[in-house]
Amino acid sequence: MINAFERAPGAPPRSLWAFILWSVQGAWPVLLLAAVISALVGTTEVVSALLLGMIIDAVVETGPVDFFAQHLWLVAGFVIFFVVLRPVAFGLSSAANSIVVQPNVYVLVQSRLNRWTLGQPVTFFDNDFAGRIAQKQVQTARALTDVANETINTMAFALASIIGSVILLLTIDARIALALAVWLVGYLALIRYFLPQVRQRAGARAGARAQVSGQVVDTITNIKTVKLFAHSEFEDRAALNAMGVFRDRAVEFGEVQAWFRFWLMLVAGVLPVLLIGGTLWLWSLGQATPGAIAASGAVAIRIAQMTGWVSFVLMAIYGNLGEVEDGMKTLTRPSNLQDADDAVELGRVTGELHFDNVNFAYGRQTGGVEGLDLKIAPGEKIGIVGASGAGKSTLVALLLRLYDVEGGRITIDGRDVRQVTQESLRRNIAMVTQETAMFNRSAFENIRYGRPDATLAEVQQAARAAEAHEFILSLQDHEGRHGYDAHLGERGVRLSGGQRQRIALARAFLKDAPILVLDEA
């Protein structure tokens, strides 16, 4: 079975095929087994044509009187194959794909992408729409799952069918098999011409779709600001502009799709004429039997039908590869804020801080923090005052290592923050931010976020310390949940600004970290 939550080693690669290998690493044995089952099912198509030809030849040779007496085992095999073996094979293949492959591959890819995204620095999220990032995650996982499923379910099936068909036609006449081989060359040339265009245009369409999602989510996330400034029309135009770009990319994708299907149907229509006509010609020369005509006809019609199906699937696969590539470009950007190879776990600190000649300007030449030297003793309370943009919040971000200093260093208990793991550093700091972040979860869960193993009594004690207990008891959400069970809405919209700050304070108190930072709280 596939371990859907297995971690991938290392960072995701930036090239398409290496990224796909990284995404499904650990699932290959199951994927290969599913492909083998699908290939075995594909051979049943050839066996069907073979049995049909054998039955017809037996009918012609024997006649109605002695047919069943002389060919009982052939008839029995025909019945067993179609009533038992073929349905069982298709059922096993379907179960392998729908029960084992699809659900597990999707979760495997999604969990790995989500885990990598969570490890990205704040700058990654500052420079993109939250909705666009989420869309890329879902899109990439879905598209890659479809690629795996269709490759197994269709391509292995079709490849086995075609190889089996060539072998069957070789038993009839090598010239008929050669005709099929020539036709396949033309068919593959058609695919080679169109599919790169499909992949490119599918990627462009996926990027435009994600832009629409990002624009809409950005508007809805800030809907109060939109309403307060009466900018519904403005936001509607912005969304329509993004939708217009998506429509243009979708039309471009549809154009190449339509041309591909036209040429595909034209090429597919040639095959029955080629194989059946060729076998009829051999029969007219006394070099083929009626059963051979039936078998080659069945193969020709089935392959012609299959080429349409396979080509549409190939187009979907290449379209999905374009979406995977588009998502990969966004989600796999190298993190510029990694733990050092020799980073150590920081235990509970006393709280001695030293900003040692710190410089930071967000990569610009000027601005930010320059030459700051500040020492804070354990247990000391200080306030930093300055005009907006003076760098107060920047200092906090540097302390939490949301960014790395561009000069100097920051130490806690004498240890450079760059030499400890980010998780252990942040466990030692409790913070209430300017914009108090609330999850659309219960008041209890929002406070307990400070310490996930806290009891209800400990959560309530922290709420009392933050003077939040009384108003929490009066909360009721739209589903009738009360008090600490009441959900706070998206970003805490059901609370006033002051109430959100009280909840955030309670969360920080519950964390009970040795360093407490209040950023305008």
So what's the pLDDT on residue 375?
A: 92
Contact status, residue 407 vs residue 358, Cβ threshold 8 Å: yes
Q: At the fourth CATH level, which superfamily is domain 443-518?
A: P-loop containing nucleotide triphosphate hydrolases (3.40.50.300)
Taking the C-alpha atoms of residue 43 and residue 160, their distance in angstroms, rounded to an integer, is 6
Fold classification of 16-331 is: ABC transporter transmembrane region fold (1.20.1560)
Q: Which of 492, 386, 507, 375 is nearest to 452 (CA)?
A: 507
Domain with CATH 3.40.50.300 in the chain: 443-518
Mean pLDDT calculated for residue range 421-438: 85
- pLDDT for residue 90 is more than 60: yes
Q: Model confidence over 158-171: pLDDT tens digits?
A: 888 778 777 777 77
Output 113 or 75, whichever has higher pLDDT.
Answer: 113
Domain with CATH 1.20.1560.10 in the chain: 16-331
> Would you list the DSSP string of 1-52?
---TTPPPSSPPPSSHHHHHHHHTTT-HHHHHHHHHHHHHHHHHHHHHHHHH
Q: Considering only 45-54, 416-425, 482-491, which range has the smallest mean pLDDT? A: 45-54
What pTM value is reported for the model?
0.71
Q: Model confidence over 211-258: pLDDT tens digits?
A: 888 788 788 877 777 877 788 888 889 889 999 999 999 999 888 888
So what's the pLDDT on residue 243?
A: 92
Alpha-helical segments (H) within 119-156: 122-126, 130-150
Taking the C-alpha atoms of residue 444 and residue 463, their distance in angstroms, rounded to an integer, is 10
So what's the pLDDT on residue 217?
A: 79
